[in-house]
Structure 1
Amino acid sequence: MTTIGFIGLGIMGGPMAANLVRAGYDVIGFDLGAERLAKLREDGGRAATSLPEAVGEADIVITMLPDSPDVEAVALGEDGVIAAVKPGTLYIDMSSIAPLTARRVAEAGAAAGVRTLDAPVSGGEPGAIGGTLSIMVGGSDADFEAARPVFEALGKTIVHVGGAGAGQTVKAANQLVVGGTYALVAEALVLLEASGVDGKRGLDVLAGGLAASRILELKRQTMVDREFTPGFRIDLHHKDMGIVQSAARAAEVSLPMAGLVAQLIASARAQGYGTLDHSALLKVIENLSGRSEG
């Protein structure tokens, strides 16, 4: 049985680890939250009391962490993943982080004889629970093929997009499109309702035409209902838009729409909506038009 050390058992990592257990892997998890470790035990996994304990004998290590500094600390620290694993271990970081950080981890891994992949995901908590995530993978062909069975237990769309850091670049592009689409759907809904048109019916039409999108498919009713229970929080999308802007500077390209989307998301966070779903961009657009419902 392949042993997987899984670090980070939060909203995304917890259900992902559970899916790996169900797929027949021996999963040893570590997280700073005791309740998250207890949940992994309930799901059939094993709970470690330290990071080295979780990864020391693992064949594969997965990290699912909030941001680049967290990954740098966990991957590159004195008692981190690369220092603690056996040579030849496959280390897959599935966090959403800066491409530069992913390349640093890959370089450190290569120097230590550790194989690395950056494999961020899209699909939010529902995708993590259902095992239907989209996974964009950066790294070598051989390491991607070695990891494919693991990815197939976690997602449905699995694409090797290039070398180290490429997965994170594709994830940044994904978050740009998602954020921009939410902003446009929000503006469309505000326009419809302010013009006396039933918002639900209007969005139903849009969802059946050229304007159709996955966001309109899944989120139009909750946006009409102003139901913003987080599947993916504004706070995290704010972080991701910082990654988009940093990647744009590194690539020396101008992305004016990215700047606007980043400012709208920053405004949502500043207005106290950081813990809400990213569809809460609707509240920002309503506030700009003086149509806030409170």
Structure 2
Amino acid sequence: MGVYAYRGCDNLIEAISPRLEEAGWHREGEPELADMVITYFPTMNDLEDLCFGDNGLMQVMKPGSMIVDLSSVTPNFAREMNAIATLSDLKFVEAPLVVKDMTLADAFARDNIFCFASGEDGCVVEAKDLLDAIFCEVKIVGGGGAAQLMRAANTLQTVAGVISAIEAHALFMASKRSISSIEMGEIQIEFSDFGAQAIIQAIRDERFDSSFTCEMLMGELSAAIMAADDYELIMPQAESAMHLLELLAVIGGADKAPVALALVYGEEAACAANGLDWSRAETLYAQEDGIYSEDDYDDAFDDYDDSDDSGSIGFGYSVN
């Protein structure tokens, strides 16, 4: 089929490289040797540094080659990438990936990921064979920025569903610790949809690890929030969800599956068993009168370093 190079998260390339090889794609280590360069990063900053830093990707790629970006960025940034690629005699396709079931350990299995795709002048058609090898479905949508807009809308719905399922489970578990549960008898959660069922089952099975991580979901949600900001739209629910995911990251869960957010609502022993360290979050909350401080929250996340996995105290933290 052709020659490709890859820059981005190891989790993804480990999953897709065998599929690409089977489809006839040969991988090169250096972008300047490739016909297509696949990129996938959890943050827009990482992608921007790769493309526009010293000896950036667009400076070293050979004329006429193509960038196929699977990251989540804003529609505006995608259009900027496309414009700069065109000026550099390159082609650009935005194809942000979407994970169907983020509770799976192998979340990047072909049947579990699809993408929205958009580009100009037949670029998506040219990249279709490569995308078909990676994804179970390629949804071609409009011109520059369209795929990222579709992905952002999908992310907002997905995150809302994840957190609502986790909180529904937390409510039932809390009720079982209450003496009043004796009077209510034995009851079970009714699932609102398949996604909620998968999330709650993963919590019950204690499946808190996945190739699709909390950090990756945070990147998707951040891009969606920034896209809304570009259109002067405030997203209170999305921003609240981001704070919860950031909290999980701060206490050591950045590399956990997003469903590990359930541990934040749970018992101290469960948090400790999964390597979460609540001492990292001490500055998230003001010490005086137990009142939450936004400044303390921001300072704590600015200083966040997830490289130390030594501590573990845990517990479902409550704010007075």
Q: Taking structure 2 as the reference length, what is the TM-score of the superposition?
A: 0.72
Cα 1:27–1:236 change in 2 (3 A) is: same
How far 1:201 moved relative to its partner? 7.7
* Number of the residue aligned with 2:229: 249
Equivalent runs, 1:113-128 vs 2, <5 Å? 113-123=89-99, 126-128=106-108
In structure 2, do the counterparts of structure 1 residues 14 and 70 end up closer, same or farther at CA, with 3 Å as the change threshold? same
Among 201, 212, 229, the alignment partner of 2:193 is: 212
Q: C-alpha displacement at 1:86, in angstroms? A: 2.4
Q: CA 1:141–1:157 in 2, change beyond 3 Å: closer, same or farther?
A: farther
1:202 aligns with 2:188: yes
Structure 1 counterpart SS, 2:265 = helix
In 2, are the aligned partners of 1:127 and 1:155 still within 8 Å (CA)? no
1:118-151 Cα offsets, whole Å, 9 max, x none, are 1110226734233542111131261111111111
- Which structure has the greater CA radius of gyration? 2
The code of the aligned residue for 1:239 comes to G
CA distance in 1, matches of 2:220, 2:9: 20
Q: Does structure 1 residue 129 correspond to structure 2 residue 109?
A: yes
1:4 aligned residue: 4
Cα distance, 1:18–1:283 mapped onto 2, change above 3 Å:
same
Counterpart of 2:140 in structure 1 is: 160
Distance 1:126 1:61, change over 3 A: same
Give the aligned partner of residue 96 of structure 1: 72
Q: Does 1:16 align with 2:2?
A: no
Q: Deviations over 1:238-278 (max 9, x none)?
A: 33332222111111223222122122222322333323211
C-alpha distance in 2, partners of 1:7/1:228?
26
Distance 1:166 1:97, change over 3 A: same
State the one-letter code of the partner of 1:266: E
User: Counterpart of 2:289?
Assistant: none
Please, what TM-score do these two structures have when normalized by structure 1? Answer: 0.78
Q: In the alignment, is the contact (CA less than 8 A) between 1:76 and 1:105 conserved in 2?
A: no
Instruction: Give SS of 2:131's match.
Output: helix
Count of aligned positions: 260
Q: Deviations over 1:91-137 (max 9, x none)?
A: 11112233333222211101112110111102267342335421111
8 Å contact kept, 1:56–1:85? yes
Q: Secondary structure at the match of 1:174?
A: helix
**Percent of aligned positions that are identical:** 23
Moved more, 175-184 or 132-141: 132-141
Structure 2: 5+ residue stretches without partners = 268-313
Alignment of 1:19-58 (within 5 A): 19-28=19-28, 48=29, 54-58=30-34
Q: What is the one-letter code of the residue matched to 1:65? A: F
Whole-angstrom distance in 1 between the partners of 2:193 and 2:53:
45
CA RMSD of aligned residues (A): 2.8
